[in-house]
Structure 1
């Protein structure tokens, strides 16, 4: 299971976060400040970091910046009592992927951690082959022979998500969480709109098709 590093100078917060993460099967490590967190990261394989902003020795801003210098593919989730808009903006500018303010619901934290890990697992794959069709996540293009199709980002990520596991059914809620993010507040019927557009774009391609599973969601099938 993934290893989560929790960096917070409040021992009670660390204990609470680690307790809920371990209940979901994650391995956890703790750091009381940014400097200690950076040392642990340098000596132990870490899959995701939950970090506070206000910590002694090295604060969360600096820790975030230092981690991003060495690894652009490390999921970072800021967990802090500081919830001003400018602080959130600064966090995202420094490279955090998600931002949760205290007091927080530990169950929501674990859901956000899982969503981030899923999102980054998508990012680690570079291409997917569907018959003669290639999905290239580096360029966000789809190729079939000499034909190249460029898609809007969300359409590409939706197709890529479905293509990762052909035959698996995804609910609208799962696709919203994994593509648009847990903070998305729009109508989940946006999935139907994007699926319709994908079908229209690839209606002449027979390598794959997207099925509607009534009452459940969608799945992608590869033609034999």
Structure 2
């Protein structure tokens, strides 16, 4: 069974995503931030990551999410990532695409 890692600092967002994904047959694991997510990735086979881009209430830049993506790449983990944020920014989306160099609409 495919396992999806949901990374978000808001418990209600994680819960909503997990409930929806469980209903269609996916197993989910949750992490409240990048550090916890990296620990999970090092010990668990993950098929997909849902990643919030901001983890501090006063941060809307997406820098935390971009830093996580860089750390994920250094692990040579070839895991697809769907980024999400309440603070949508075209600039951050373009940085994500440039980082992976293979964005799909």
Range class of TM-score, shorter chain: 0.7 to 0.9
Question: Match for residue 18 of structure 2?
Answer: 18
Q: Distance in 2 between matches of 1:69 and 1:96?
A: 16
Structure 1 residue runs without a partner (length 5+): 99-180, 184-224
**Partner deviation per Cα, 1:169-206 (whole Å, 9 max, x = no partner):** xxxxxxxxxxxx5x4xxxxxxxxxxxxxxxxxxxxxxx
More strand as a share of residues: 1
Q: Distance in 1 between matches of 2:64 and 2:88?
A: 16
Structure 2 residue runs without a partner (length 5+): 57-62
Residues 51 and 77 in structure 1, CA contact (< 8 A), matched pair in contact too: yes
The structure with higher relative contact order (CA 8 Å, sep 6+) is 2
Residues 78 and 96 in structure 1, CA contact (< 8 A), matched pair in contact too: no
Length, aligned pairs only: 99
Of the three residues 77, 81, 85, the one matched with 1:76 is: 81
Q: Distance in 2 between matches of 1:87 and 1:73?
A: 21
Q: Distance in 1 between matches of 2:11 and 2:101?
A: 22
**SS state of the match for residue 29, structure 1?**
strand
Question: Match for residue 64 of structure 2?
Answer: 59
